[in-house]
Structure 1
């Protein structure tokens, strides 16, 4: 992975020399299609903030983390503010997720080679930051032997915001209404499935997106829907969880 990053740096330096001082800047395309707007019901609230009126639909989890051809994705009503403020964090989450999981399966590698490399060529500041923060770390493989692997420092804000927004969107998708305003939402980074959660797994409803690209399990307490538990597995190599409870 480090060699790949170095290659991207070299290619970008050559590209800049060829382009000299020619700068091209394109306006960002709208983050939603007209067809998405037409699917929003009149007066429907945003699934993410639960306050503003929805004007479009947003993907949960974000479509940025899926290479083409994308599987069938879940969309929820979203207001303009929530949808447009998320794209940068979605891109960051995609970059770190793909680099974290690229060695795990072919689809994760495709996400890295087809989407992340393009993002890093475009965002040189992010590329330099990742290159600077990456380290070789000893990791025990499946046979218990130590081997050297590339370790990356995740962008914690991107991770927390994307997982949190995904939980809010999926809560709406399954419960039929936004997360109550008197709830607090906590997101946790996981290195694997915690032992204390294992006994509860049969109680959680499981959903699979694509070819196991994203697997999530959840439970919403019927007696008090402010209580919910969420567990995510991305590309079989990254785990995260979250829960909601009364504030």
Structure 2
């Protein structure tokens, strides 16, 4: 993400909502936007951070939204750490301290990962081609975690849930798409921990139904999402 931050802004774009709000227990749920909150949820999920954890963002959440998320968070943690363990010490700590224990408890998940893994050719940091073991992500769990994270962060930065007349679409990325590069100068950037999670976002002030989000996890995985009005 950093390598494209200095690209020149192209075209006239809307301004950004940047005022954060502190979640207060008892407000509307940031995730569903319907039920009353009775607890708080971490966005991104705290499962992907080994201890000692950095300062994490929390938002008000209802019991149903918070309680239904733990399995997806666990799966996201496993697959993320498998992909990121070679990147830095914190990612290796996440794998050794949390993922290994999860796989020891969940033989079915371990067998699934083994059956869906295969050797792939990649270009390493030196520019050389080498063979590594590739692991197929659980795409459903991945998208649910990214969706919930966007919903929570939208609330955190705007002070209200994503409008009910919006759709939220999530994308898997291999890097920053070319079509997004011209928009990077207007995206506000936040870093959690020691670059464990970096995200950029814009919520359009003239129509907050439109927003764009880009995530980088441990320098090894990228995802994005955007909200837009429902088309009737």
Q: TM-score, normalised by structure 2?
A: 0.88
Counterpart in 1 of 2:175? 192
Report SS of the residue matched to 1:244: strand
Shift of 1:41: 4.0
Residue 77 (structure 2) aligned to one of 94, 98, 102 = 94
1:92-241 correspondence to structure 2 within 5 Å: 92-241=75-224
- Aligned-residue offset at 1:196: 1.8
Give the Cα–Cα distance (whole angstroms) in 1 for the partners of residues 61 and 24 of structure 2: 9
Q: Which residue in 2 is equivalent to 1:53?
A: 36
Rounded Cα–Cα distance in structure 2 between residues aligned with 1:41 and 1:213 = 27
Unaligned stretches of 5+ residues in structure 1: 1-38
Counterpart-to-counterpart distance in 2, 1:143 and 1:90: 33
Q: Give the match's secondary structure for 2:146.
A: helix
Q: What is the CA–CA distance in structure 2 between the aligned matches of 1:41 and 1:148, rounded to whole Å? A: 49
Report the equivalent of 1:23.
none
Q: Does the aligned pair in 1 maintain the 2:25–2:39 contact within 8 Å?
A: no
1:78-107 per-residue CA deviation (whole Å, 9 max, x = no partner) reads 000000000000000000000011101110
Structure having the higher helix fraction is 1
Unaligned runs of 5+ in 2: 1-22
CA RMSD across the alignment: 1.0
TM-score (norm 1): 0.83
Runs of 4+ in 1 over 4 A off after TM superposition: none
